[in-house]
């Protein structure tokens, strides 16, 4: 698991991450604890339990990706694009993940780099 992060650091991270781009809909983090922040005014497609379930599934897939890292390098992020949103997963510590959803029209690489910088400032 990642180092123990207090609730204030989680809130600071979520508050800063959601402000990185107006196209971010949701930022969630799971590293033994579940925390999430929705952009004010966005239509929610999933309830909290569905988000937790999605995070659990994403964490399992992240573990599978890490098994290949000795041959191709550590994973930086993964993204799936759906009709309504992008779903981006970024590593956090050894076993944790950050999950974001965004509007479809966004520069994903630029956003991921900003989120990683924010993660380093508040959580690493």
Would you say residue 1 lies in a domain? no
Q: Distance between CA 13 and CA 7 in Å, rounded?
A: 10
Would you say residue 2 lies in a domain? no
Would you say residue 91 lies in a domain? yes
List the structure tokens of 26. 């949701």
Q: Which domain holds residue 12?
A: 7-122
Which segments within 55-115 are labelled E, that is strand?
77-81, 86-92, 96-102
**SS3 state of residue 70:** helix
Would you say residue 115 lies in a domain? yes
* Ordered per-residue pLDDT tens for the chain, 124 residues: 344 567 788 899 999 999 999 999 999 998 878 899 999 999 999 988 898 888 888 888 888 888 888 899 988 999 999 999 999 999 888 778 999 999 999 999 999 999 999 999 988 8
CATH code, domain with 38: 3.30.450.30
pLDDT for the residue numbered 5: 60
The domain total for the chain is 1
Strands 24-30 and 77-81, how do they pair? unpaired
Tell how far CA 4 is from the center of its chain.
17
Would you say residue 65 lies in a domain? yes
pTM summary value: 0.88
Would you say residue 94 lies in a domain? yes
pLDDT for the residue numbered 21: 97
Would you say residue 87 lies in a domain? yes
């Amino acid at each position: 698991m990642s180092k123990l992060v207090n609730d204030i650091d989680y809130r600071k991270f979520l508050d800063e991450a959601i402000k990185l781009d107006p196209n971010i809909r949701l930022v969630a983090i799971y590293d033994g604890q579940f925390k999430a922040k929705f952009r004010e005014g966005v239509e929610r497609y999933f309830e909290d339990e569905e988000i937790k379930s999605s995070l659990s599934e994403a964490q399992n897939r992240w573990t599978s990706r890490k098994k290949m890292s000795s041959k191709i390098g550590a994973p930086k992020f993964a993204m799936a694009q759906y009709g309504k949103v992008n779903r981006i997963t970024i590593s956090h510590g050894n076993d944790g993940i950050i999950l974001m959803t965004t509007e479809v029209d966004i520069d994903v690489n630029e956003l991921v780099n900003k989120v990683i910088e924010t993660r380093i400032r508040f959580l690493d």
